[in-house]
C-alpha cells in the first residue's frame, strides 16, 4: 500500500478533533491504550480504534507495543517522533494556504476544540502537583516563565502582533527547526481576526 502524503495526513489530522485530541493526549503521556484515550475523548471505543488505525497507517503513530498483563494483552500507542521531525513548516503553511474555505473552517474548529482538551490536561497535571512541582511552578512564575495573556485588539495592534509572531516563528524555525519534540515547554498562540462586520451605528 502506498503511504499517504505526510502533509495531507497531518492536515487531515489537524482537521479532525478526535485525531488531534489523540495527538494532544500522547504529547502529555508517552504511551496510551485506546481504552485510556477513550476516557478523555468523547468517542466510542470502536470509532477510536478506527481513528488510531488510520493514524498508524499514516505514520503519525507507531505500531502498537503489546504488553501482556496476566491473561490479556494491552496495546500501547505512541506518537511517531520521526514523522513530526520530518515536517517542513514552510511546506505545511503552504498546504494550509491552498486549502479550500470549507477545509479551513473544519481545521479551525477542530484546532479550537482540541486545544481545549490540551488545556484541560495541563490543568489536571497542575491539580495533581506535589509540593516539589508546586515550588517549581512558583519559581517559574517568579522568573516570568509562565505567561497567560488574553486581549481583544483593534486592527493595527493585531497586525503588529501577527508580524512579531511571524518573526519569532521564523527565527525558531531557522535555529531549532530540526527539533520537533512532542514533550516540552508549551506555547499556544491563538489569533482570530474579527469574523463579522462591526454593527452600523
Local confidence band at 5 (pLDDT 50, 70, 90 cut-offs): confident
pLDDT of residue 1: 37
Please state at what angle helix 155-176 crosses helix 89-98, rounded to 10 degrees.
140
Kindly list the structural domains of the chain, giving each domain's residue range(s) and its CATH number in brackets, ordered by start. Answer: 6-146 (1.10.10.10)
Local confidence band at 2 (pLDDT 50, 70, 90 cut-offs): very low
Burial of 82 per CB tally in 10 Å (0-12, 13-18, 19+)? exposed
Share of residues in the chain with pLDDT > 70 (%): 93
pLDDT of residue 138: 94
Q: What is the model's pTM?
A: 0.84
pLDDT of residue 115: 92
**DSSP 8-state code for residue 181:** -
Amino acid at each position: 500500500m502506498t503511504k499517504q502524503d505526510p502533509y495531507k495526513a497531518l492536515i487531515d489530522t489537524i482537521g479532525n478533533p478526535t485525531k488531534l485530541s489523540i495527538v494532544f493526549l500522547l504529547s502529555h503521556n508517552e504511551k496510551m491504550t485506546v481504552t485510556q484515550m477513550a476516557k478523555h475523548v468523547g468517542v466510542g471505543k470502536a470509532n477510536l480504534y478506527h481513528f488510531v488505525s488510520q493514524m498508524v497507517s499514516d505514520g503519525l503513530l507507531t505500531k502498537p507495543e503489546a504488553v501482556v498483563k496476566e491473561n490479556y494483552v494491552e496495546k500501547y500507542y505512541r506518537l511517531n517522533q520521526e514523522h513530526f521531525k520530518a515536517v517542513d513548516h514552510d511546506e505545511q503553511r503552504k498546504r494550509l494556504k491552498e486549502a479550500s474555505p470549507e477545509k479551513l473552517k473544519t481545521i479551525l474548529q477542530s484546532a479550537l476544540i482540541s486545544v481545549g482538551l490540551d488545556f484541560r490536561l495541563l490543568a489536571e497535571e497542575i491539580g495533581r502537583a506535589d509540593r516539589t512541582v508546586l515550588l517549581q511552578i512558583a519559581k517559574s512564575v517568579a522568573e516570568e516563565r509562565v505567561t497567560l495573556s488574553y486581549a481583544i485588539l483593534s486592527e493595527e495592534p493585531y497586525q503588529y502582533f501577527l508580524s512579531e509572531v511571524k518573526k519569532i516563528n521564523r527565527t525558531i524555525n531557522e535555529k531549532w527547526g530540526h527539533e520537533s519534540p512532542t514533550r516540552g515547554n508549551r506555547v499556544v498562540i491563538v489569533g482570530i481576526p474579527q469574523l463579522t462586520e462591526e454593527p452600523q451605528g
